[in-house]
Amino acid sequence: MFVRVLPRHVREEYGFTLVELLVGSMMGVVVMGAVASLMISSMRAQPRISGAAQNVSEARWFLERMTHEIRNGIRVDNATASSVSFQAYLRRTSCGGTGTLASTAPAIKCEITYSCTTTACTRLESQPETTSGTPAPIFSGINSSAVFSYAPSAAEATYIKATLRIPDPSGNGSLTISDGASLRNATLNY
Protein backbone atom coordinates (compact mmCIF):
# COMPACT_ATOMS: atom_id res chain seq x y z
CA MET A 1 0.00 0.00 0.00
CA PHE A 2 1.29 3.31 -1.06
CA VAL A 3 0.34 6.46 0.89
CA ARG A 4 1.46 9.72 -0.40
CA VAL A 5 2.15 12.36 2.16
CA LEU A 6 1.94 15.93 0.95
CA PRO A 7 4.08 18.58 2.41
CA ARG A 8 2.41 20.67 5.10
CA HIS A 9 2.18 23.90 3.02
CA VAL A 10 0.28 22.06 0.23
CA ARG A 11 -2.22 20.36 2.57
CA GLU A 12 -3.34 23.66 4.20
CA GLU A 13 -3.96 25.58 1.00
CA TYR A 14 -7.65 26.13 0.43
CA GLY A 15 -9.34 27.58 -2.65
CA PHE A 16 -11.56 26.87 -5.63
CA THR A 17 -10.86 24.61 -8.48
CA LEU A 18 -11.15 25.84 -12.04
CA VAL A 19 -14.43 23.93 -12.52
CA GLU A 20 -15.96 25.57 -9.42
CA LEU A 21 -14.93 29.01 -10.64
CA LEU A 22 -16.46 28.39 -14.08
CA VAL A 23 -19.75 27.11 -12.62
CA GLY A 24 -19.94 30.05 -10.20
CA SER A 25 -19.22 32.53 -12.99
CA MET A 26 -21.93 31.06 -15.20
CA MET A 27 -24.47 31.23 -12.37
CA GLY A 28 -23.55 34.88 -11.78
CA VAL A 29 -23.98 35.66 -15.49
CA VAL A 30 -27.43 34.02 -15.53
CA VAL A 31 -28.56 35.94 -12.42
CA MET A 32 -27.23 39.26 -13.77
CA GLY A 33 -28.96 38.60 -17.11
CA ALA A 34 -32.28 38.02 -15.36
CA VAL A 35 -31.88 41.20 -13.31
CA ALA A 36 -30.97 43.21 -16.42
CA SER A 37 -33.95 41.79 -18.33
CA LEU A 38 -36.30 42.75 -15.48
CA MET A 39 -34.89 46.27 -15.35
CA ILE A 40 -35.21 46.76 -19.11
CA SER A 41 -38.82 45.54 -19.20
CA SER A 42 -39.82 47.76 -16.26
CA MET A 43 -38.16 50.78 -17.88
CA ARG A 44 -40.07 50.11 -21.12
CA ALA A 45 -43.40 49.81 -19.26
CA GLN A 46 -42.87 52.91 -17.11
CA PRO A 47 -44.12 55.53 -19.65
CA ARG A 48 -47.30 53.53 -20.29
CA ILE A 49 -47.96 53.09 -16.57
CA SER A 50 -47.24 56.76 -15.88
CA GLY A 51 -49.62 57.79 -18.66
CA ALA A 52 -52.39 55.63 -17.27
CA ALA A 53 -51.82 56.96 -13.75
CA GLN A 54 -51.92 60.53 -15.08
CA ASN A 55 -55.21 59.82 -16.89
CA VAL A 56 -56.77 58.38 -13.71
CA SER A 57 -55.56 61.39 -11.72
CA GLU A 58 -57.09 63.79 -14.26
CA ALA A 59 -60.36 61.82 -14.18
CA ARG A 60 -60.51 62.11 -10.41
CA TRP A 61 -59.85 65.86 -10.63
CA PHE A 62 -62.61 66.22 -13.25
CA LEU A 63 -65.09 64.33 -11.08
CA GLU A 64 -64.18 66.35 -7.98
CA ARG A 65 -64.66 69.62 -9.85
CA MET A 66 -67.94 68.51 -11.36
CA THR A 67 -69.42 67.20 -8.10
CA HIS A 68 -68.40 70.42 -6.35
CA GLU A 69 -70.36 72.40 -8.95
CA ILE A 70 -73.31 69.97 -8.72
CA ARG A 71 -73.45 70.50 -4.96
CA ASN A 72 -73.82 74.23 -5.69
CA GLY A 73 -76.53 73.43 -8.23
CA ILE A 74 -80.12 74.44 -7.71
CA ARG A 75 -81.93 72.95 -10.72
CA VAL A 76 -81.25 70.50 -13.56
CA ASP A 77 -82.43 71.88 -16.90
CA ASN A 78 -81.37 69.10 -19.28
CA ALA A 79 -80.35 65.55 -18.38
CA THR A 80 -79.24 62.81 -20.75
CA ALA A 81 -76.72 59.97 -20.49
CA SER A 82 -74.10 62.02 -22.34
CA SER A 83 -74.77 65.54 -21.01
CA VAL A 84 -76.13 67.44 -18.05
CA SER A 85 -77.08 71.10 -17.84
CA PHE A 86 -77.85 72.68 -14.49
CA GLN A 87 -77.98 76.04 -12.76
CA ALA A 88 -75.48 76.69 -10.02
CA TYR A 89 -74.03 79.55 -8.05
CA LEU A 90 -70.46 80.52 -8.99
CA ARG A 91 -68.09 83.18 -7.71
CA ARG A 92 -67.56 85.07 -10.94
CA THR A 93 -68.05 88.60 -12.18
CA SER A 94 -69.98 87.18 -15.16
CA CYS A 95 -71.00 83.73 -16.35
CA GLY A 96 -68.27 82.36 -18.57
CA GLY A 97 -65.79 84.89 -17.21
CA THR A 98 -62.34 84.08 -15.94
CA GLY A 99 -61.05 84.43 -12.44
CA THR A 100 -62.88 83.97 -9.17
CA LEU A 101 -64.12 86.60 -6.78
CA ALA A 102 -63.17 87.01 -3.16
CA SER A 103 -65.02 84.77 -0.72
CA THR A 104 -66.91 87.79 0.64
CA ALA A 105 -68.41 88.64 -2.79
CA PRO A 106 -71.83 87.15 -3.59
CA ALA A 107 -72.02 84.28 -6.05
CA ILE A 108 -74.03 84.62 -9.27
CA LYS A 109 -76.35 82.10 -10.90
CA CYS A 110 -74.94 80.50 -14.09
CA GLU A 111 -75.86 77.61 -16.38
CA ILE A 112 -73.22 74.86 -16.44
CA THR A 113 -73.30 72.20 -19.14
CA TYR A 114 -71.11 69.11 -19.21
CA SER A 115 -71.19 67.11 -22.45
CA CYS A 116 -69.29 63.90 -23.16
CA THR A 117 -68.57 62.02 -26.37
CA THR A 118 -66.92 58.63 -26.70
CA THR A 119 -63.50 60.28 -26.32
CA ALA A 120 -63.79 63.52 -24.30
CA CYS A 121 -65.87 65.76 -22.04
CA THR A 122 -66.43 69.51 -22.35
CA ARG A 123 -67.73 72.19 -20.00
CA LEU A 124 -69.76 75.24 -20.97
CA GLU A 125 -70.60 78.09 -18.63
CA SER A 126 -73.30 80.57 -19.73
CA GLN A 127 -76.17 82.76 -18.52
CA PRO A 128 -79.02 80.88 -16.78
CA GLU A 129 -81.32 78.91 -19.10
CA THR A 130 -79.02 79.37 -22.11
CA THR A 131 -76.33 77.15 -23.57
CA SER A 132 -74.58 79.57 -25.89
CA GLY A 133 -70.83 79.87 -26.03
CA THR A 134 -67.84 77.74 -26.81
CA PRO A 135 -67.45 74.62 -24.69
CA ALA A 136 -64.00 74.12 -23.20
CA PRO A 137 -62.45 70.64 -23.32
CA ILE A 138 -61.97 69.53 -19.75
CA PHE A 139 -61.13 65.82 -19.95
CA SER A 140 -60.19 63.35 -22.66
CA GLY A 141 -59.40 59.67 -22.72
CA ILE A 142 -62.76 58.01 -22.06
CA ASN A 143 -64.30 55.26 -24.14
CA SER A 144 -68.02 55.70 -23.45
CA SER A 145 -70.37 58.64 -23.85
CA ALA A 146 -72.83 57.21 -21.29
CA VAL A 147 -71.37 59.15 -18.38
CA PHE A 148 -74.32 60.53 -16.41
CA SER A 149 -77.12 58.85 -14.50
CA TYR A 150 -79.80 60.47 -12.38
CA ALA A 151 -81.98 59.79 -9.36
CA PRO A 152 -84.87 59.55 -8.96
CA SER A 153 -85.10 60.10 -12.77
CA ALA A 154 -83.64 62.28 -15.51
CA ALA A 155 -86.81 64.39 -15.57
CA GLU A 156 -86.73 65.08 -11.82
CA ALA A 157 -83.01 64.77 -11.08
CA THR A 158 -81.86 65.66 -7.58
CA TYR A 159 -78.80 63.38 -7.61
CA ILE A 160 -76.32 63.22 -10.50
CA LYS A 161 -73.80 60.39 -10.80
CA ALA A 162 -70.92 60.53 -13.27
CA THR A 163 -69.10 57.37 -14.33
CA LEU A 164 -65.97 57.65 -16.46
CA ARG A 165 -64.74 54.55 -18.27
CA ILE A 166 -61.06 54.86 -19.13
CA PRO A 167 -59.39 52.30 -21.41
CA ASP A 168 -57.32 49.85 -19.38
CA PRO A 169 -53.65 50.15 -20.36
CA SER A 170 -53.32 46.37 -20.45
CA GLY A 171 -56.11 46.23 -23.05
CA ASN A 172 -58.56 44.29 -20.87
CA GLY A 173 -61.79 46.30 -20.65
CA SER A 174 -62.04 49.64 -18.87
CA LEU A 175 -61.09 51.25 -15.60
CA THR A 176 -64.22 52.78 -14.05
CA ILE A 177 -64.12 55.88 -11.88
CA SER A 178 -67.38 57.30 -10.55
CA ASP A 179 -68.67 59.93 -8.18
CA GLY A 180 -71.91 61.77 -7.63
CA ALA A 181 -73.60 64.55 -5.71
CA SER A 182 -76.98 65.94 -4.79
CA LEU A 183 -78.10 69.39 -5.77
CA ARG A 184 -77.89 72.05 -3.07
CA ASN A 185 -81.62 72.35 -2.41
CA ALA A 186 -82.54 68.78 -3.30
CA THR A 187 -85.19 66.93 -1.40
CA LEU A 188 -84.16 63.32 -1.54
CA ASN A 189 -87.30 61.20 -1.72
CA TYR A 190 -85.95 57.99 -3.24
Report if residue 133 sits inside a domain.
Answer: yes
Report if residue 118 sits inside a domain.
Answer: yes
Strand 136-140 versus strand 120-126 pairing type? antiparallel
Going by pLDDT thresholds of 50, 70 and 90, the confidence category of residue 8 is low
Residue 13 and residue 7 in contact, taking contact as beta carbons nearer than 8 Å:
no
Please check the confidence at residue 186 and state whether its pLDDT lies above 70.
no
Going by pLDDT thresholds of 50, 70 and 90, the confidence category of residue 38 is very high
15-36 pLDDT per residue, tens: 888 898 999 999 999 999 999 9
What is the layout of strands, in order, in the sheet containing 108-116? 73-79, 83-90, 108-116, 120-126, 136-140
Report if residue 188 sits inside a domain.
Answer: no
In which domain, by residue range, is 166 found? 45-182
If one counts the domains in the chain, the total is 1
- Stretch among 8-12, 139-143, 181-185 having the lowest mean pLDDT: 8-12
Report if residue 115 sits inside a domain.
Answer: yes
d(CA 5, CA 7) in angstroms, rounded, equals 7
Report if residue 135 sits inside a domain.
Answer: yes
